[in-house]
Amino acid sequence: MTTPIRFFTIVLNGMPFLKYHLPMLQKLTIPWEWHIAEGLAELRYDTAWSVRKRWSWRKPFRLQTTGWLPHHLHEGGRSIDGTSEYLDALASEDSRVKLFRTPKGKFWDGKREMVRAACANIDSETILWQVDSDELWTVDQIQTVHEMFAQAPDKMAARYWCHYYVGPELEITDRNCYGNGEDGWIRTWRTRPGDLWEKHEPPLLSRDGMPLCSKSFLQHETEARGLVFEHYAYVTEAQAAFKEAYYGYTDALRHWRRLQQATPPLQLESYLPWVHHPARVGRRPAGAHLANYDPKTKRWSLASPSASSRPLQHVA
135-154 pLDDT, tens digit per residue, is 999 999 999 999 999 999 99
CA count, 13 A, side-chain hemisphere, 3: 22
Strand ranges of the sheet holding 170-172, from the earlier edge strand across to the other edge: 135-136, 229-231, 162-167, 170-172, 280-283, 266-267
Give CA–CA dist 198/35, Å, rounded: 19
Q: Is the pLDDT of residue 71 over 90?
A: no
Strands (E) across 232-295 are located at 266-267, 280-283, 291-294
**pLDDT at site 67:** 64
177-192 per-position pLDDT tens digit:
999 998 889 999 999 9
Tell me the C-alpha to C-alpha distance, in Å, between residue 48 and each of 45, 139, 309: 5, 35, 39
CA torsion, points 176, 303, 294, 282, in degrees to nearest 10? 20
pLDDT digits (tens, 9 = 90+) for 281-310: 999 998 889 999 999 999 999 998 765 544
